[in-house]
Amino acid sequence: MKTERIEFMAPPGLKSKLQEEASKSKISVGELIRQRFEPSDEEKDLIKLTAQLRKATAEASEELACAIAEIDTVVNALQERRKDAERRVA
């Protein structure tokens, strides 16, 4: 894995807070920062699943719209038949 060095200025106390948090987790400050900003494997899986769910939802929505349009067509046709039958009877 290639890495790049990042240096930044921080307000007083941040460095010690980072070191303390890293020490509690038994990791380096660099690893602490990476973990906070890089998605975990679980988060990556969730991102993929979310994309799949959005795609499936969009497809289902389109199919539902088509089904509703077909039902409307059938209902309209049946209503016309009923009107024709009522006209013939009257």
Query: What is the span of the domain harbouring residue 6?
Result: 1-38
Q: Kindly state whether residues 45 and 85 are assigned to the same domain.
A: yes
Are residues 45 and 6 both part of a single domain?
no
Dist. CA 5–CA 11, nearest whole Å: 20
What is the number of structural domains in the chain?
2
Q: How many residues does the chain have?
A: 90
The set of residues, in sequence order, having a beta carbon less than 8 Å from that of 22 and lying 6+ positions away, is: 28, 29, 31, 32
53 and 89 share one domain: yes
Whether 67 and 89 share a structural domain: yes
pLDDT digit string (tens) for the chain, length 90 residues: 688 888 989 999 999 999 999 999 999 999 999 888 888 899 999 999 999 999 999 999 999 999 999 999 999 999 999 999 999 887
* Same domain, yes or no: 34 and 48: no
pTM, to two decimals: 0.54
